[in-house]
Structure 1
Amino acid sequence: MRPEDILPTYDRVAAEFARTRDRTLFERKWLDRAIACAPGRKVLDLGCGPGVPIATYLTDRRCEVTGVDGAGAMVHLFQKNLPQSRVFHADMRGLDLQESFDMIVAWDSFFHLAVDDQRAMFSTFWTHAHDRTVLLFTTGPSAGEAIGRVGGETVYHASLDPSEYRGLLAEHGFEELAFVPEDPTCNGHSVWLARYRG
């Protein structure tokens, strides 16, 4: 399993992923915290998947969600689940939508990228940020690679060391608001929350 296999894999397993995706909203605490810190409710959801439960929850909280996913099958499901929201079939790497957002979310998506692509993504976050934009993303708890499973297939994950993520955030004008590795209140997810300060 390689990073370049991720999008074809998610295209193949989209329906099964959507059927089995945890919908208990264990992410709610972090989503609510991000909304509370953001200057508005215009949200960019990178690696949006089928839009359930995260984009749906954000929409229910009166957010205007724009989804982006590199897997066409996921984009189709997002359009079906959230017909009132915009969604783009595009790779998040090098993305430039020519607009900024109040909140950028990369939940369980960014960590599928190779480490060099993760480093480059901080320029993409910066491109879509304005004063006080909030950035919410998940990683691994420490540097390394791992193989997981989704929809019966294997998927690649990678993570930098937390100190490197901190350096990349600072280099691109983001201040760290919180980092909780393997948060026990969030199904063991390692979660970052940051805010753009210019």
Structure 2
Amino acid sequence: MNPAQIGKNYDTITDRWSDDRFNMKNGIDQHKKAISFVKLRGKALDVGCGRTGRIMDLLAKEGFKPEGLDISEKMIALARSRNPEWNFYQEDICSYPLSEKYDFITAWDSIWHIPLDKQVSVISKLANALNPTAS
């Protein structure tokens, strides 16, 4: 399945990630551990942010200015309605150019959706978008 198809499929199941149906603690402890290694708390990017905002909420609480990126139009629309003050991008990380530097980037539960032949370039892109002075 290509990223556009994945986005359309997620558009049909956005209700599965509602606050009352989804484990909002999923991935939080792992992110807290990772964040503990980061000194600078500027911009952060959540790739595959979905609609819940749980990771972006944590990033904001930890002093970051979070931004979210997701291929699903409906996930992004719901995320924007939840946190209209944050920047969200409805984009395919495989082709979307990251022109900013980030002090923290997460791709929790999203990298495995990327086609195998694109994974090295996407992970390289994410690594290159990290601020080298953040840690």
Q: TM-score, normalised by structure 2?
A: 0.85
Stretches of structure 1 lacking an aligned partner (at least 5 in a row): 135-198
Runs of 4+ in structure 1 deviating by more than 6 angstroms, as ranges, are none
Map 1:60-99 onto structure 2 (within 5 A).
Answer: 60-99=61-100
Match of 1:175 in 2: none
What is the percent sequence identity of the aligned residues?
A: 24
Deviations 1:178-197 (A, max 9, x none): xxxxxxxxxxxxxxxxxxxx
1:8 and 2:8 matched = yes
Q: Deviations over 1:125-146 (max 9, x none)?
A: 1331221557xxxxxxxxxxxx
Deviations 1:12-68 (A, max 9, x none): 111333352211x14222211221212322211101001432112222222210100
Looking at structure 2, the residues matched to 104 and 80 of structure 1 have their Cα atoms a distance apart, in angstroms, of 22
Structure 2's unaligned 5+ residue stretches are none
**Whose Rg is larger?**
1
Report what 2:116 is aligned to.
115
Root-mean-square deviation (Å): 1.9
C-alpha spacing 1:110/1:132, structure 2 compared with 1 (3 Å): farther
Shift of 1:116: 1.0
On the 8 A contact 1:93/1:117 being kept in 2, the answer is: yes
Which AA in structure 1 matches 2:74?
Answer: A
Asked if 1:36 is matched to 2:51, the reply is: no
CA distance in 1, matches of 2:44, 2:121: 21
1:99-178 correspondence runs (5 A)? 99-133=100-134
Contact 2:40–2:133 (8 Å) recurs in 1? no
The alignment partner of 2:103 has SS state of strand
CA distance in 1, matches of 2:72, 2:49: 10
Instruction: Give the Cα–Cα distance (whole angstroms) in 2 for the partners of residues 61 and 108 of structure 1.
Output: 21
Higher relative contact order (CA 8 A, sep 6+): 2
Residue aligning to 2:47: 46
What TM-score does the superposition give when structure 1 sets the normalisation length?
0.60
Higher helix proportion: 2
